[in-house]
Structure 1
Amino acid sequence: MGVEERRSMIVHAVLPLLVEHGPAVTTSQIARAAGIGEGTIFRAFKDKEELFDACTVEALRPDHVLDAIAEIPLDQPLEQRLTEAAEALGAHLERMSALMAALHPTGKGRRSPMKLGRRESLTAMREAVTELFTPDQAHLRLPADQLASLFLALLFSGRRLSLDDGLGAHEIIDVLLHGALGDT
């Protein structure tokens, strides 16, 4: 196994441990989860900090959510496509949030090793969601890319606000597609 493959294997084994134990996870736990000796960890990473940074980068990567959105059939109704996208995006945000919360138990901010990739990540997500709107472009009031941006803004801000008033993805999608006014 090459160095990069070994690093990737270790990172994928460590992610759930970090969510469960935070930075207190031991090298013994890491080695056991990865099925390797403790010394192998330090042949792949110079220290735990470098390993945690690699885990953070992996958790922030949008690859999984982009793949999930790409698999959504475009022949489904738009509401169904957006619901599936919201579920995939929600799972992505949950994974990121769980890891970030585990790595920041004291409230002290750690540097993010991926700050420069945030814009590219959001752009890729917007482009993926734009594809979901495109089959209905002739019936849309705004261009597909603008609606994708609006959808992501509503979805992400709803999660960030953590409202407990029942406002979920379904309600956001309903208002986005049908407006705020009810039947008059």
Structure 2
Amino acid sequence: MTPPRAPAMSPDDRRASIIAVTMPLLREKGRIVSTKEIAKAAGIAEGTIFRVFDSKDDLIDATVHDAFDNSTLLVELAEIDRALCLRDRLARAVAIMQEHLQGVFALMTVLHASGQPMRPPTHDGDAHRRREEATAELDEAFVELIGDDARLLRVSATTFIGYLRMLTLSSVHPMLGGQASTPEELVDVLLEGALDRGSGHGPDRSQDRTPTTPPTLSRKKTT
């Protein structure tokens, strides 16, 4: 049976739609996925793929590149309700980041298992600049998400984001093992610390402090 004629799309939209369909198939099967399978999932003729991509490898490389792209992340972070409290805004952001990273790691794992791991990134100047720009854009999105609540932190917003990035990455990294922390747990530990507040060693909250006063740990007096 002849596949239905694909609806008219611009080359960029067609490219994006094929990549979107290829992503889950690549995570499931690795590079052994066929263009026939991709075309069937996309509801297009197999030849349509090769009007947009030079080869199957070209499509796969574009899909891998898209897995690392921050564009969707930035959109999702921008859609978080700013009326939420800081803790809830950060938990939503961490959930978005965890899902993104889990997708990347799943892709890396299946490609490695298939004996055809991801090709190493290009180390030319333009590639390095693009990676730095992408990281800067993500950091700016988090700074904007924190907003005026940065005054509540006893470290700078950029320092806080660095800690948040490390904790989020380690919470889902397959090489670190263990059960992934929930976004709420991760944010709570980062904002409040890991000491038990009822143990006598947690932050002293007996008196109200102004937002600019850093919290301190109470210490037992020695004689």
What is the TM-score when the length of structure 2 is the normalising length? 0.73
Indicate the structure (1 or 2) with the bigger Cα radius of gyration: 2
Native 8 Å contact 1:10 1:34 kept in 2: yes
SS in 2 for 1:118: helix
Question: 1:57, 1:113 within 8 Å by CA — same for their partners in 2?
Answer: no
Q: Which runs of 5+ in 1 are unaligned?
A: none
The question of whether the paired residues in 1 share the 8 Å contact of 2:112 and 2:118 is answered with yes
The structure with the largest helix share of the pair is 1
Q: CA deviation at 1:16?
A: 1.5
Matched length: 184
Residue 108 of structure 2 corresponds to 100
- CA distance in 2 between counterparts of 1:142 and 1:44 reads 48
Whole-Å Cα distance in 2 between the matches of residues 71 and 5 of structure 1?
Answer: 22
Aligned counterparts of 1:110 and 1:123: Cα–Cα separation in 2: 24
Counterpart-to-counterpart distance in 2, 1:148 and 1:50: 35
4+ long deviations beyond 6 Å: none
Match of 1:53 among 42, 61, 65: 61
- The farther-off stretch of 129-138 and 114-123 is 114-123
Please give the root-mean-square deviation of Cα atoms over the aligned residues, in Å: 2.2
C-alpha distance in 2, partners of 1:131/1:87?
17
Q: 2:91 corresponds to which residue?
A: 83
Report the TM-score when normalising by structure 1: 0.87
Letter in 1 for 2:32: A
| 1:141 matched to 2:182 | no
Q: Which moved more, 1:25-34 or 1:131-140?
A: 131-140
- Match for 2:188 among 169, 174, 177? 174
> Match for 1:100: what amino acid?
M
Partners of 2:117 and 2:39 lie apart in 1 by: 27
5 Å matches for 1:1-184?
A: 1-106=9-114, 108-112=116-120, 116=127, 117-160=130-173, 162-164=176-178, 167-183=181-197, 184=200
In structure 2, runs of 5+ residues without a counterpart are 1-8, 201-223
Q: Percent identity?
A: 36
Counterpart code for 2:53:
F
* Greater relative contact order, per chain length (Cα 8 Å cut-off, separation 6+): 1
